[in-house]
Structure 1
Amino acid sequence: METIRFDIDADGIATLTIDVPGQSMNVIGPDFLADLDAAITRISSEEAIKGAVIASGKDSGFMAGMDLKYFGSMLVSAGGRPPAPADIFDKVFVLNQLFRRLETCGKPVACAIEGTCAGGGFELALACHHRVVGDNPKTQLGLPEILIGLFPGGGGSQRLPRIMGVQMALMTMLQGKLMRPAEAGMMKVVDQVVPQGTAVEAARAWVKANPTASTQPWDVKGFKFPGGAGQFNPGFVQTMVGALPMTLKQTQRNMNAPIALLSAVYEGASLPFDRAIRVESKYFAKVAADPQAGNMIRSLFVNKQAAERGARRPKDEPRAPTMKLAMLGAGMMGAGIATVAAQAGMEVILFDRDMAYAEKGKAHVEEVLKKRLGRGMTPEKMAATLARVTPTTDFAALAGCDFVIEAVFEDASIKAEVTKKVEAVLGADTIFGSNTSTLPITKLAKAWSKPENFIGVHFFSPVEKMPLVEIILGEKTGPAAIAKALDFVAQIRKTPIVVNDSRGFYTSRCFGTYVQEGVEMVAEGINPALIENAGRQLGMPVGPLAVGDEVSIELGNRIVLAAKKELGDAYVPQRSDELMGRMVELGRLGRKNGKGWYDYPEGGKKHLWPGLADLFPRTGDQPDVEGVKERLLYRQLIECARCFAEGVLETPEDGDIGAIFGWGFAPYTGGPFSHMDTVGIAHVVAVLDRLAAAHGDRFAPTQQLRDMAASGAAFYRPAPSRAAA
């Protein structure tokens, strides 16, 4: 066997140690499936074997889920076309059959879990008769498949409700929630929580002491779900009746997997287990056959992991971890960056022009750490982390810093002044990163003697929670700066994308179009409530006006004024510019002062400002919600496509990751470029032409899109080769 080591001890207990070669974490692939099949045959057929323990031979943890490259191969048939759901069913049901063979092999099987056990690995554990987990606070257990557009397809949707009850199991699976060992023990998902490093020993002891415990509870006559189940059980009916509308509301009817999961659980709960797992595989195959799952897996898992592992890092540059960070500016962004840097073990010199601001920045660090007490943070660890942050107003205190991040006021002249003063202390060989969200990096780099050592490092607010960092290359940014910035992002465990210089770069530029189009529609007299609801139904986290309030109408107006000043006659004005200016004149600056597109009454719930109807009277001919959704979506798509055509983006992978994790672009699409590929570039061009004719050149397709439509190319697939005539 290539993936499983099979040993039998003197008591006749077989230990199956999983160690998939060439993988940092155990995953389920064809070799593992074949080896597990052979191991089950030995366990069930050899009389000398009294039972078995399944464990991991890797320090990284027990097992993750399916090898996604292998899973991807299931979704391609002859000729490269998507297979029918029935064909996918035959492939995915293999896993269900195998786990079912394991739990009905006639011998007791215990699972010894040390480290993270998730997805298909956790489904393997659920198929064992006894589960033992080593008590490590970093260990996570659960079924997170819903987060990448799938749902548990190895029996998890049927076993978990039979172990913890339908209501709790649905909450866990629909959220993709991972549990720590103590919680898993409390929920009876694992049978024993033992000291770290002793799980295998405890599992062997259980098998030895329970030679006849080879039947799962759901295979015993008279088995009942915890809390009850079935169409005539009031609690079960109430759970399912409530789960459907709640799920539809949460997903805005955009996600396939949650609804399929509800169907699999509902139907499976009334069936014998062997029938129930067939129902699960049927729904799983249906979800897998839709492009949505493939798009989400590619962007949210495969490409995200590749980015975090340095896909865009210059290969020849030596590792350059940051030891001492100069953090310029102690406002919300600066304090947030200081927090994540200190948590990653770096010394941070937190600089501001006023000591009160610098101290306030450190107080922010302390507040964030306090909220984590009891959740992996101890008082001792908190004190050590806080001690790494030193507030200062003295540029000389930056001496010895090996990386600089600037997050001062968004004004080019102020940034240039600070940049020159830092260089006087550290020298131009130090890498300097600017956290600007809109100002061109090439222009800012002129204040640093070696522009090859100047780079954009754009964080998102709140820094502690937002997973993305946008790395921006100026015209002269060199490989050492790129490597340093990406190594820093890896240290703080965030996801990077790398883009080229442009006003607004990629994320701010494209995100802004979502807000701008919402404001354009307000100016046209379209009902603001319709606009906001359409934005949420599209799959965005909040409506365009609500998010405009969050980032500040005043900031948006300031960016417009700066762009007008910079571009002069080349700037193309929009009606939204005038409206934002009018809102600022009225003192409606956004959430920060309690009044913007919404009112924010103290102690009350926010609501759309009624005065909008007076400022911009409603048109009598209101569009339908689909029309509003289309405008909000395609205004973002065309700006993303322009960034690609202009070379701001070099890869569609960066575009999709940046959109989803940077501004919350509808995750179910897999990102704007995945979505355009899925609906077809020709369709995208046709819609854009129609919208441009109705609403203006901001929707006009790029020539690149037209060429792609004509050739049959896609962002993730080149144009098909044409045979010579």
Structure 2
Amino acid sequence: MKEFSYSKDAAGIVTVTMDMEGPVNSMNAEFGPIFKQMVDRLEAEEGLTGVILTSAKDTFFAGGDLKRLLAITPDQAEMLFAEVEDMKADMRRLEKLPVPVVAAINGAALGGGFELCLVCNHRIAASNPKTKIGLPEVTLGLLPGAGGVVRLVHLLGLEPAMPFVMEGKQLAPEAALKAGLIHEVVAPEDLLTRARDWILSVQGDADAATQPWDQKGHRIPGGGSNSPKMAPRIAGAAAMLFQKTKGLLPAPKKILDIMVEAGGKLDFDTALRYETRRFVSLVISPEAKNMISTFFFGLNQVKGGASRPKDVPRSKVQRLGILGAGMMGQGIAYSAAMAGIEVVLRDMTQDAAERGKAYTEALLTKRVKRGRMTEAEAAAVLARIIPVAETEALRGCDMIIEAVFEKIEVKDQVLAECEALLGEGGVWGSNTSTLPITRLASKAANRANFVGLHFFSPVDKMPLLEIIAGQDTSDETLARAFDFAQQIRKTPIIVGDKTGFYTSRTIGTKIIEAVELVAEGHDPIRVDNLSRLTGMPTGMLSLLDEVQIKLVTDIYRTQVGMGLLDPAEEQNPKARDMLAAMLDDHDRVGRATGKGFYDYADGAKVIWEGLQHWRDPEATISDRDIQDRILFRPVLESLRCLEEGVLRSVADGNIGSIMGIGAPVHTGGYIQYVNTYGLDRFVARCEELAAAYGPRFAPPQILRDHAADGRPFR
């Protein structure tokens, strides 16, 4: 068989070793015919006593061919349905062989790879630290379409299966064994021997060669979906699902639907066909196209260094200096120490520096309690952080990051005090969300080695690092910053040095548009709730309270004072006036002081009664217009950033918007959203909004050009 090696030993055991063309085995267009040929041969094999399915690759099996699935169009749906059904029929034939079949899992088995394992009677995994086992399709807007949903329900039961199929949970071999996904974990060198020994040990045992769901009297563990005790649990799962996805992600909803049908309403084979129909409907959905484009291809492009300057050798930071042990500095220190970097954490006093280190100690203590690291490992991480008050301790660091107050004069001061302490060729990074890097670098002795590093709070949880290239920042410095980001396990994007960079500039548009709606007289609770129902993690007014009205207003006033913004060109003047009045006249600072758009007390929040001053009972607007105004603003701003060169790639914009500023997951990022919305349709909708609400919604030229040429943003 092409790409599957087939060998039979003296005991009648056939070992099939998958070795498909390319770096991994996958369910591509070639897989179906090869798999069918394998099953045909096994069914015809005389003297067959058992089958071992394994892989010649580092991974066992990588799952579906996402590039092909991304290209499937609605008119190809029936073709895909027939193709998947044929493959599943062959998988069904394999699991109905009258001999035991073992999956010898030598590496990662995810998605279709684990579905292939589920077809086998016995699953043995090698204790490989890189191995992950699970069904992560939902994270790409899909569902396990090769029998994964149906088989896992019958194997584990409805509730235990939910985290794996509805959340895409992945486990290491030992955890997978405990969860019941596999039967054994052995040393890699013992994998095939143990598979063979198990087959020999169950000869003559009919149940060993029969899947649980094909055995007489089989019942779904914990009860089927038609049992009275499961009804409230299913209803609760549906309610929690809507609360989490707001109805915008079809995949988990369809997975739950399949689970209910497979869990007792349909026979096993009919449930498999039902699963195929749901799978195909997702493949052609815009949500899946968006999520596959960004979370797989876009993320791989970003992590692969598409925006990293070429021809610069890879580098690692050995000793990192951090100025400022506050919220940002302590988070950076933790991330760096976890990556094995020695950290010198400096603050104005020794006590302040020690408090910064204590942040890491608290996080490590939680990890130890949860069994995620040993006490010895935690102690080693903590020992890498050296809290100091004197600046001389920074001497020789190959990178220094200042994470002091967001004021130019403070940043200038620490630069003057500490830049000379850098080791030869060392990089100076300024952690800032808005202050111009070129301006900050103007006071540096070595501007080429000065770069912006915009971390997101909390640093230990937020995965993005926005790297800002100043006018004089060298390619070598950008490359070293990129490598440092990956070293501390952050996803880096490189952006240009224009006001607000990419993330701060873009997140501000959706927030200020929500404020504008309230300033126009619309109900603030309605505005906040509808913004959340676009798929944003939280309502925009609630988000502004978290960020703080004072901070947003101070940043705006600073940018005006520096000549970076012209108040005469402000696109949301009513909103700016409203925020100024809330802050200056009513001391509405934000949630930190208990007073923002909401009043906060005793764990509850209530809309501030003073907002009635701006309410206009005559103001009317549709729900759709509210949501489109809030969603389209950051989309249009992302396109303008791409047009101006602030963004170096579409992938950077999509990943940056998802990981950094809460773009709705179903959009695949703000730029990708335009592709599946439809370029012409998006232009037309922008023109409608511009006519009704102002030129800030006018389509930028880059959008018009792509629409005219029919070119998606890639």
Equivalent residues of 2:399, 2:422 under 8 A apart = no
CA shift, 1:143, in A, is 1.2
Question: Greater CA deviation, 334-343 or 604-613?
Answer: 604-613
Deviations 1:285-325 (A, max 9, x none): 11111222111101011110221122222231111111111
Q: What is the aligned partner in structure 1 of residue 246 from structure 2?
A: 252
Say if 1:237 and 1:427 are closer, same or farther in 2 by CA, change over 3 A.
closer
Q: What is the aligned partner in structure 2 of residue 323 from structure 1?
A: 318
Say if 1:377 and 1:245 are closer, same or farther in 2 by CA, change over 3 A.
same
1:20 & 1:390 partners in 2: Cα distance?
50
Equivalent residues of 2:70, 2:293 under 8 A apart = no
- 2:387 paired with 1:391: yes
Equivalent residues of 1:40, 1:102 under 8 A apart = yes
What TM-score results when the alignment is normalised by the length of structure 1? 0.92
1:322 & 1:2 partners in 2: Cα distance?
47
> 1:576-615, aligned counterparts within 5 Å?
576-585=575-584, 586-602=586-602, 604-613=603-612, 615=613
What TM-score results when the alignment is normalised by the length of structure 2? 0.93
Say if 1:204 and 1:609 are closer, same or farther in 2 by CA, change over 3 A.
farther
Equivalent residues of 2:60, 2:107 under 8 A apart = yes
CA shift, 1:186, in A, is 3.5
CA shift, 1:3, in A, is 4.3
Question: Greater CA deviation, 387-396 or 422-431?
Answer: 422-431
Q: What is the aligned partner in structure 1 of residue 699 from structure 2?
A: 701
CA shift, 1:618, in A, is 4.4
Supply the RMSD in Å over aligned alpha carbons: 2.3
CA shift, 1:430, in A, is 1.4
2:224 & 2:282 partners in 1: Cα distance?
25
SS in 1 for 2:481: helix
Deviations 1:150-181 (A, max 9, x none): 01111001000001111222343212222344
- 2:118 paired with 1:120: no
- 2:28 paired with 1:40: no
Question: Number of matched residues?
Answer: 705
Say if 1:171 and 1:376 are closer, same or farther in 2 by CA, change over 3 A.
closer
2:70 & 2:628 partners in 1: Cα distance?
30
> 1:536-615, aligned counterparts within 5 Å?
536-567=532-563, 570-571=566-567, 572-573=569-570, 574-585=573-584, 586-602=586-602, 604-613=603-612, 615=613
Equivalent residues of 1:314, 1:479 under 8 A apart = yes
Given residue 583 of structure 2, which amino acid in structure 1 is its aligned partner? V
Equivalent residues of 2:395, 2:423 under 8 A apart = no
Say if 1:277 and 1:465 are closer, same or farther in 2 by CA, change over 3 A.
same
Deviations 1:267-290 (A, max 9, x none): 333233222211111111111112
Aligned mate of 1:168, from 160, 168, 171? 160
Equivalent residues of 1:431, 1:481 under 8 A apart = yes
Question: Greater CA deviation, 143-152 or 39-48?
Answer: 39-48
1:37 & 1:354 partners in 2: Cα distance?
71
Equivalent residues of 1:435, 1:458 under 8 A apart = yes
Q: What is the aligned partner in structure 2 of residue 68 from structure 1?
A: 66
> 1:166-565, aligned counterparts within 5 Å?
166-194=158-186, 198-211=190-203, 212=206, 213-231=208-226, 233-269=227-263, 270-373=265-368, 374-426=370-422, 429-565=425-561
Aligned mate of 2:148, from 152, 156, 160? 156
2:130 & 2:352 partners in 1: Cα distance?
35
1:689 & 1:531 partners in 2: Cα distance?
22
Q: What is the aligned partner in structure 2 of residue 719 from structure 1?
A: none
Q: What is the aligned partner in structure 1 of residue 17 from structure 2?
A: 17
Deviations 1:2-33 (A, max 9, x none): 6444343443323333444542x543334444
1:40 & 1:655 partners in 2: Cα distance?
46
Equivalent residues of 1:416, 1:444 under 8 A apart = yes
CA shift, 1:565, in A, is 0.8
1:568 & 1:215 partners in 2: Cα distance?
72
Q: What is the aligned partner in structure 2 of residue 721 from structure 1?
A: none
2:561 & 2:623 partners in 1: Cα distance?
36
Equivalent residues of 2:95, 2:121 under 8 A apart = yes
Equivalent residues of 2:69, 2:283 under 8 A apart = no
SS in 1 for 2:393: helix
Deviations 1:393-449 (A, max 9, x none): 222211221122221111112212212322211267212222210011111121223
Question: Greater CA deviation, 157-166 or 618-627?
Answer: 618-627
Q: What is the aligned partner in structure 2 of residue 617 from structure 1?
A: 615
Equivalent residues of 1:3, 1:32 under 8 A apart = no
Say if 1:10 and 1:337 are closer, same or farther in 2 by CA, change over 3 A.
farther
Percent identity of equivalent pairs: 42
Equivalent residues of 2:559, 2:565 under 8 A apart = no
Say if 1:486 and 1:26 are closer, same or farther in 2 by CA, change over 3 A.
farther
1:39 & 1:400 partners in 2: Cα distance?
62
Equivalent residues of 2:400, 2:422 under 8 A apart = no
Equivalent residues of 2:140, 2:295 under 8 A apart = yes
